[in-house]
Chains A and B, each alone.
Chain A
Amino acid sequence: DGGITQSPKYLFRKEGQNVTLSCEQNLNHDAMYWYRQDPGQGLRLIYYSQIVNDFQKGDIAEGYSVSREKKESFPLTVTSAQKNPTAFYLCASREGQGIKTGELFFGEGSRLTVL
């Protein structure tokens, strides 16, 4: 079954702890993205990667970190430096490194709650 898998679906974290959200895709897509979804603010881009071993900051990268060691994996770490981490996180992928347009395929999301 092809697609994007995010885990865990729900995660609780104490303040001061780092947490890593997993994103795996078997679509053989080059580009991967992390968005944060908050009510009334839509989706905001955290980080994106157009190719293995390369990634760029999005609009709200502070307090987050990523890695792209494998084409199919793009984990997101929410660090203790992120001031308001409670949110719904969406991972997406897109085929075609050099293609300007293209459909984004999304995972089901991970809901992080900081206690």
Chain B
Amino acid sequence: AQRVTQPEKLLSVFKGAPVELKCNYSYSGSPELFWYVQYSRQRLQLLLRHISRESIKGFTADLNKGETSFHLKKPFAQEEDSAMYYCALWKYGNKLVFGAGTILRVKS
């Protein structure tokens, strides 16, 4: 089955500390993976996609096919990073499958 697993419901870190939001996937073939973010009172929006190999708001994510992972990382957390983060997998048939999400809380 093609699915996305985010093992942590909540991740709480102090401002300035490194952040790693975990995402593991199950997919036969070449996966297309994304991170979406939902800030308080805002719409769910795309943060980054693995094919772009970009850094957005200091976040990066590397696809590791051997470990079937796509963890989201940031070296120094900011308070404005507090949000709900979803890892998502593009599935055959033009469907985007989401993980359960991880709430990131950055404490001052």
Which residues of A are in contact with B by a Cβ distance under 8 Å? Answer: 31, 33, 35, 40-45, 48, 50, 56, 58, 90, 92, 94, 100-101, 103-104, 106-109
Contact = CB atoms under 8 A, between A and B. Distances in A.
A104 B101 CA distance: 17
Interface stretch (B60-68, B69-77, B89-97): B89-97
Contact of B32 (A43, A48, A56, A101): A101
A107 B32 contact: no
Nearest to B94: A50
Interface string B91-107: 00111111111000000
A101 B9 contact: no
B44 A48 contact: no
A109 B6 CA distance: 23
Given A50-B94, A101-B32, A42 B43 contact: no
B45 interface: yes
A18 B46 CA distance: 32
Contacts of A94: 94
Contacts of B46: 103-104
Contact of B100 (A41, A48, A103): A41
Contact of B9 (A40, A92, A100): A40
Contacts of B56: none
A48 B96 CA distance: 10
Given A48-B94, A109-B43, 10 more contacts: A33-B95, A35-B98, A40-B100, A41-B100, A43-B86, A45-B95, A104-B36, A104-B46, A104-B96, A108-B43
